[in-house]
Amino acid sequence: MDNFLQINNGQAIKRSSIPCLPFPRFAELLDAFVKNDGFIVQFFAHVEDGRNKLVAVVRNNQLYVAATEVGETFPSLTASSSSKFHMFEREIAEQYGITPVDHPWLKMVRYHANYRQAADVFGNDYRQDIPGNYQYFQVEGDSVHEVAVGPVHAGIIEPGHFRFQCAGEEVFSLEIQLGYQHRGIERMLTQVPMKRLSIICEGIAGDTSIGHNLCCCQALEALTGLAVDPGAQVVRCIALELERLANHIGDLGALSGDVAFNPPAAYFGRLRGEFLNLLQVLCGNRFGKSLVLPGGISQIMGEEQAKIIEDKLKELEPEISHVCDLLFSAHTVQARFENTGTVSTKMAEDLGLVGYSGRASGLPYDARVAFPTEAYGALHANRNEMVNGDVYSRASVRREEIMHSMHLIKSLVNRAGEVSAKRTMHEISLEPDSFVVTVNEAWRGEVSHCLLTDKGGRIERYKIKDPSFHNWTGLAMALRNQEISDFPLCNKSFNLSYCGFDL
């Protein structure tokens, strides 16, 4: 990786120090990197002085960055190298109208006109109201039938469209078309006043409010040289873990509901609320919105709040452990969870899965361990045992992480002595001509924000990546040769974000 620049998580560097390689060299290095246990954190386009540039942020046990210049087209790396590039290249084509030539499945991602007013790669007319003028992948054969679901689903959930090609119960192919929640966030973030950044980032995915806003605030802190005191770092970690707990517990409840085992579904549903209420104790909002601000946190965690959290955990821990035992030891549940929706280690690697979906398939990557931020450097890591890649493994990882998170919070709350001063939002000026990437392990996995500032210190390009951007393809692959009736179960075990993907 001689030609790539090694960088640190959340450290601002000058844009001029990013090596800009000729495309063939860039492609050759990336190809070697991803085939040798390397993964892509960010891969995106932007326009610099009227020229199209591609930036790649990649990781093994270090982070690296490099850039290249391209014209209106470039040879697809998905075609020549690895599926890990697949979604990123589609996104580049949609956002900047730059065509990855020979891409095996070049299709719109979020259905919007590109930023350069260049000709649309997909030939779409965006004056139409709805996505959908698209030929879905077809499987041919006498007994093949098609099932279409969404964008308005049966439950209270986000919009997305699923197209199944089946023979009887068996699913040959599942195609997932999202984009219904596209709000134009990346562009908005370059145009709105600084005071709106946090609020918008909390709205990227409401269930990952802390994770995304943390990435945003860490990036802004890096670009202004703001220091965060240790007390605030502790509170940020507690908040991120509370978010993880609420979501994992809610999902275990949803999984029990999907196999019609209703008692744990009801208990987990209620227990999830307890953790949302703890976030409300910390900051007044059940989703942790408005807690994290550039430079610190908006409310202090005093002894009172620390005690509420500590007492609640003491009360809930045995309950959670008993309900988990109830769920995981039921034979009917095991029969439905095991060998359902399996994603092999090889497949997970090829697609670059992250978070618990990756860990359940044997990819141990955890950003809290690999690139620790805030107070994570001094905390214990979690190691999961079950790596079969099926629904059972994904559920087991969640169970282990629930116990681990409660342990982390208990050890952090004991450091409540280091209470932090509360901080208000104020205008900050960013370092000009700079680049920063931040990575955090939110509950679904690796969340990353990447900022490029211009000569005047304004944000020129804001790039966001939710873990769902990698993992939706994992869900589609998990469904291959499964029964369509197992879809809800597979879906819940991944529980991916529509809005975090749609941006």
Partner 1 sequence: MLKIIRNRYEQGCKTSNYPQEPIALYKRFRGLPKINGDCDPATVGQCAAICPQDAILCEERKIDLGKCTFCGRCENVGDGAFVTFSQDFAMGTSSREALLCDGTLPALAEHAKKHFKKLFGRSLQLRQVSAGGCNSCEADTNVLNTPFFDLSRFGIDFVASPRHADGIHVTGPVSKNMKAALIATYEAVPAPKVVIASGACSISGGPFYGSPEIIGDLGSIVPVDLYIPGCPPHPLTTLHALLNFFK
As a whole number of angstroms, the distance between CA 264 and CA 326 comes to 7
Closest distance to partner 1 from the beta carbon of 120 (Å): 15
Round to the nearest angstrom and report the end-to-end CA distance of the chain: 32
Closest distance to partner 1 from the beta carbon of 191 (Å): 8
Closest distance to partner 1 from the beta carbon of 216 (Å): 12
Of 56 and 232, which has the nearer Cβ to partner 1? 232
As a whole number of angstroms, the distance between CA 370 and CA 464 comes to 20
Q: What is the DSSP secondary-structure string of 393-462?
A: HHHHHHHHHHHHHHHHHHHHHTTTTS-----------PPTTEEEEEEEEETTEEEEEEEEE-TTS-EEEE
DSSP H or E run through 102? none
Closest distance to partner 1 from the beta carbon of 451 (Å): 18
Closest distance to partner 1 from the beta carbon of 265 (Å): 9
β-pair partners for 53? 46, 69
Of 264 and 355, which has the nearer Cβ to partner 1? 264
Of 79 and 425, which has the nearer Cβ to partner 1? 425
Of 289 and 470, which has the nearer Cβ to partner 1? 289
Closest distance to partner 1 from the beta carbon of 133 (Å): 12
Closest distance to partner 1 from the beta carbon of 111 (Å): 6
Of 130 and 378, which has the nearer Cβ to partner 1? 130
Closest distance to partner 1 from the beta carbon of 84 (Å): 26
Q: Which two tokens stand for residue 330?
A: 């039921």
As a whole number of angstroms, the distance between CA 62 and CA 59 comes to 5
Of 174 and 254, which has the nearer Cβ to partner 1? 254
Closest distance to partner 1 from the beta carbon of 300 (Å): 11
Q: What is the DSSP secondary-structure string of 32-64?
A: HHHHTT-EEEEEEEEEETTEEEEEEEEESSSEE
Q: Which two tokens stand for residue 425?
A: 């939002």
3-state secondary structure of 151: coil
Within 8 A by CB and 6+ apart from 147, the residues are: 162, 163, 164, 166, 484
User: How long, in residues, is the chain?
Assistant: 503
Q: Where are the beta strands (DSSP E) in 275-419?
A: 292-293, 296-297
As a whole number of angstroms, the distance between CA 366 and CA 239 comes to 18
Of 154 and 378, which has the nearer Cβ to partner 1? 154
Of 318 and 417, which has the nearer Cβ to partner 1? 318
Of 493 and 495, which has the nearer Cβ to partner 1? 495
Question: Half-sphere exposure of 279 toward its Cβ, with a 13 Å CA cutoff?
Answer: 27
Of 140 and 427, which has the nearer Cβ to partner 1? 427
3-state secondary structure of 207: helix
Closest distance to partner 1 from the beta carbon of 298 (Å): 7
Q: Which two tokens stand for residue 325?
A: 């035992």
